[in-house]
């Protein structure tokens, strides 16, 4: 076999492999969901604390580049998950709009009220609102402090680094009557 024939065969195999890889990536991307799905209270489980989702108004979802959806019972669980995962840019995060159940907001553009008079499943009293909501009105209406996604993830990153990924929120969920399923983070 001549060098030219050998190289032609090698390049042909690489071109075929590249074409197959490109086709597979298009097919996988085509199968990925366009956005979040409806959460099912009492059935879906939090991908972070393993608690059964009880109130979809506080829910959240992470959608991986592969299309895999991970559901969460509370914004603080999503923030902990995002903090632990790091920022690879390949996962999209969504939170439920507390005022419009069934409406999903990109986590990085939503407003968050923490310390609100409303009790969230994990006990941090944290809820998400649409970005156009007036911050002062949101703080007055819900009795808390308005925050942003970057702040929530930074705080969660601190808890993860301190070895308490869910701990205080997990205990607070019990304190407020949260019904936890089996959790790998159990006390």
pLDDT digits (tens, 9 = 90+) for 33-62: 688 999 999 999 999 999 999 999 999 999
Domain annotation covers residue 78: yes
Q: Is residue 50 part of a domain?
A: no
- Tell me which residue of 185, 172, 60, 51 sits closest to 119, measured CA to CA: 172
**Total domains in the fold of the chain:** 2
Residue numbers of the domain that contains 19: 1-31
Residues 64, 13: one domain? no
The pLDDT, as a whole number, for residue 34 is 82
Question: DSSP characters for 167-186?
Answer: HHHHHHHHHTT------TT-
* Domain-embedded: residue 15: yes
> Within a 10 A sphere around the Cβ of 80, how many other Cβ atoms?
27
Beta strands in 47-110 (DSSP E): 60-63, 69-72, 92-96, 104-106
Is 38 part of any domain? no
Q: What is the DSSP letter of 76?
A: H
| Residues 62, 26 share a domain | no
Asked if residue 40 is part of any domain, the answer here is no
Rounded Cα distance, 52 and 45, in Å: 4
pTM listed for this prediction: 0.71
In a domain, 44, yes or no: no
Better pLDDT: 11 or 142: 142
Task: Specify if 104 maps to a domain.
Answer: yes
Q: What is the pLDDT of residues 137-146, one digit of tens each?
A: 999 999 999 9
Residues 76 and 161 in one domain: yes
């Amino acid at each position: 076999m001549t060098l030219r024939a050998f190289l032609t065969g090698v390049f042909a195999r690489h071109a075929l492999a590249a074409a197959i890889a490109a086709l597979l990536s298009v097919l996988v991307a085509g199968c990925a969901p366009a956005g979040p799905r409806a959460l099912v209270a009492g059935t879906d489980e939090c991908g972070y604390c393993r608690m059964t989702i009880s109130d979809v108004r506080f829910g959240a979802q992470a959608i991986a580049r592969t299309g895999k959806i991970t559901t969460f019972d509370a914004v603080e669980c999503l923030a902990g998950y995002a903090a632990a995962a790091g920022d690879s840019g390949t996962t999209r995060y969504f939170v439920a709009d507390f005022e419009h159940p069934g409406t999903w907001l990109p986590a990085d553009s939503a407003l968050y009220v923490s310390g609100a008079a409303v009790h969230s499943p994990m006990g941090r009293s944290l809820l998400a609102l649409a970005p156009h909501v007036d911050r002062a009105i949101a703080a007055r209406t819900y009795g808390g402090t308005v925050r942003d996604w970057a702040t929530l993830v930074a705080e969660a990153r601190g808890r993860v680094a301190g070895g308490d990924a869910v701990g205080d929120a997990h205990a607070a969920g019990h304190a407020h009557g949260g019904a936890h399923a089996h959790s790998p983070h159990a006390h």
